[in-house]
A = this chain, B = another copy of it.
Amino acid sequence: MTGAARPGTAKAVAELAGVSVTTVSRVLSGQASAIPQETQDRVFAAARQLRYRPNSLARALRKGTTQSIGLIVPDISDAYFHQVARGVEDVAQAAGCVVILTNTDRVPAREEACVNLLLDKRVDGIVFAGGGIDDDTHLDGFDWSSTRVVTIGPHQLPFPSITVDDSAAISDAVHHLAEISCRRILCLAGQPNWLVTQRRLAGYRQAVAELGLDTDPDLVVYGDFTESAGEELTAKALAAGSFDGVIAFNDYAAIGAMHALASAGVRVPDDVAVIGCDDIPVARMVHPALTSVSFSQYEFGRNAAEMILGSVPLPAGQRITFPHELLRRHSTARR
């Protein structure tokens, strides 16, 4: 007497088809070179009838791969990361893999929690999107040996990374402002401990020095990458002194700056020209349309996922630098 196997398992299919689980496994995973068509048909029929779905957990346990990628972003609500997520997911889905999404809000403790969650889930790889901070100690002590990791943006972690030349990107923007006669350029930076702030600030300082612009340290202010931070910092700067250009290290801050300027009756670009960074889709929707440094976040995501799913070993510390381009729009269009 055949014991009734639990429904939806390979064993149940085997019983129905009158074969062994081995045969079921072989037929259903395409290794059926030596199995007659008639047997295969019986197995397929039984599988369909029982709506058999191989248990990916059991398979993962056995094979040591989960067909999944972890994605760590500061905040999926931030437009910068949509395209990254799309890129990762498009590549993953095409490969039959799945993407696990986690948000850190740039809080180290949450980032650590995300990593724990993902390592628990035994993801095949992790993509860190969004730059790191200068104190990475919360990421020490993890065992990365069986997880492929790729970082996007500046990081100190010993993994291959995908970046742009942050310093040159901002330097280019400052040069453009200088070309349209800006001399005192307000710099809306991110937080001081963000690596992306440090890289971009280097570009700002270098360009300001080369061009002989005003090096007043009060022109550099720090805040989050949000519209409200940009607005407040700019309002404060307006109250404290004067400037004729703004370079913001991300577009949200730039848009906030334009609000503050509009509220104060300052004309953009005539009185103050404004440039953002990242070129998120809103940049061209706001008024005036925002000049911004553009690069393809979607390609960042695609490349990161391909590196993780690819068979080539990941060279630790390798850096792939994508090109950037300054898109000139109305916010710097002085005739």
Which chain A residues (34-88) contact chain B, with CB distance < 8 Å?
51, 53-58, 60-61, 66, 68, 71, 75-77, 79, 82-83, 85-86
Please indicate which of the listed interface residues A54, A89, A119 has the most CB atoms of chain B within 10 Å of its own CB. Answer: A89
Docked-complex contact B101 and A117, CB < 8 angstroms? no
Question: Is A93 part of the contact surface with B, judged by Cβ < 8 Å?
Answer: yes
Please indicate which of the listed interface residues A75, A118, A227, A285 has the most CB atoms of chain B within 10 Å of its own CB. Answer: A285
Docked-complex contact A103 and B86, CB < 8 angstroms? yes
Nearest CB to that of A104 among chain B residues?
B93
Q: In the assembly, how many copies of this chain are there?
A: 2
Docked-complex contact B86 and A77, CB < 8 angstroms? yes
Docked-complex contact B98 and A54, CB < 8 angstroms? no
- Tell me the complex Cα distance, A101–B127, Å: 14
| Of B79, B82, B143, the contact of A51 (CB 8 Å cutoff) | B143
Docked-complex contact A86 and B82, CB < 8 angstroms? no
Interface range on chain A (Cβ under 8 Å from partner): 35 or more
Docked-complex contact A103 and B82, CB < 8 angstroms? no
Nearest CB to that of A258 among chain B residues?
B285
Docked-complex contact B57 and A66, CB < 8 angstroms? yes
Question: Is A102 part of the contact surface with B, judged by Cβ < 8 Å?
Answer: yes
**Chain B contacts of A98 at CB under 8 A?**
100, 102, 117-118, 121
Nearest CB to that of A79 among chain B residues?
B79
- Tell me the complex Cα distance, A287–B55, Å: 52
CB distance from A294 to the nearest CB of B (A): 16
Docked-complex contact A68 and B121, CB < 8 angstroms? yes
Which chain A residues (248-287) contact chain B, with CB distance < 8 Å?
255, 282, 285-287
Which chain A residues (186-231) contact chain B, with CB distance < 8 Å?
227
- Tell me the complex Cα distance, A321–B97, Å: 34
Question: Is A148 part of the contact surface with B, judged by Cβ < 8 Å?
Answer: no
CB distance from A135 to the nearest CB of B (A): 22
Docked-complex contact B61 and A58, CB < 8 angstroms? yes
Docked-complex contact A100 and B102, CB < 8 angstroms? no
- Tell me the complex Cα distance, A286–B141, Å: 46
Binary contact track A106-138/B, C-beta < 8 Å → 1, others 0: 000010011001111110000000000000000
Please indicate which of the listed interface residues A90, A114, A143 has the most CB atoms of chain B within 10 Å of its own CB. Answer: A143
Question: Is A305 part of the contact surface with B, judged by Cβ < 8 Å?
Answer: no
Docked-complex contact A101 and B121, CB < 8 angstroms? no
Q: Given A55-B122, A282-B282: A89 and B61 within 8 A (CB)?
A: no
